[in-house]
Structure 1
Amino acid sequence: MRRIITGHNQAGKSVITIDGPPARSIGEDVGGLFEIWNTDGMPIDTTDDLDRADAEIILSPPANGTKFRYFQINPTPEGVPWEVLQDAAAEAFERIGAGHHRIDTSKHPAMHKTETIDYIILLKGDVSLLLDEEEVRLEPFDTVVQRGTNHAWVNHGEEPALLIAVLIDSELKE
């Protein structure tokens, strides 16, 4: 995974300020989150060389902020007891400051709900979006607009699935 981040030099000319892999990643043992870029709602100085993705990985963006990331989902190993999957998911969500987003995991251990609008594209793999009352199977390049609903992702394939997501902090009404 390669990120190319642009900016301006002191003469106001456009330049590449970062060319390399994601600044941070977490949870590679279960697929992982790979941070590309974050905003916090504050003005951005395009002449700085600050890597806005080089910070602690938290699931949701800050107030008025955004998160841009890859996430990868490994297939669920067969024969793992439900309780073990629940414990693993709980630990994973705690590691990214999102334990409180797991409101109803009765349908799947990774079910969660955030106060965000998410734009998600499946790049490769065989994945379903699981909701409280529905499930939809995705094909590569299908796009989901996730509007703050309780959801999880399920990998049906034998290889990791790769998705890209933009999370935007939002005030949602149900």
Structure 2
Amino acid sequence: MLPKTETPDQVSRLIGHEVIALIESGAGMLALAEIAMAPNLAGLMIGSEDLIVSLGGRSSRQDDGTNRGVVNVARSQVLFAASAAGVPAIDSVYVDIRDSEGLRAESEDAAASGFAGKACIHPRQVEQVRLGFRPSPEDLEWARRVLLAAVSETGAFQFDGALVDEPVLRQAELILARVPQGE
């Protein structure tokens, strides 16, 4: 992991190593597209606490514990850049170690948005992140049923009252891909 990445050259200088670039400043955000194209980039991670400090802010969180708007914009941009580069995006840490409910909710949002993982700052957080990234039994059942229905369909079709087309089938496949081996 390369903290405070602000230029693609910082990543490229570590040639021979796969690098997860931590985007933690306004300068890093502005160079994000170029950083994402570094040949040895293995992933991108948003560092929201450092990012807020670099912007002159006091806190990355609202009073209710949710991300400030500027953090959500940065998260989205990191996710877009990682997707364009074909590398995983890793969501920022959740600093309130005692708030397992908030961590799980944020992990569920990160997984639903397309992040490949979420960084942890304490071992107690690992299980909540795993649970947040694991599909619910209802999601698994839906994914299996819609993919089974698609076998006998051509093109877009209706399933449980909703339109199903290629992106929806891909979502179902991604849900199943998040199931740990052996389950």
TM-score by length of 2: 0.28
The structure where strand makes up a greater share of residues is: 1
TM-score by length of 1: 0.29
The structure where helix makes up a greater share of residues is: 2
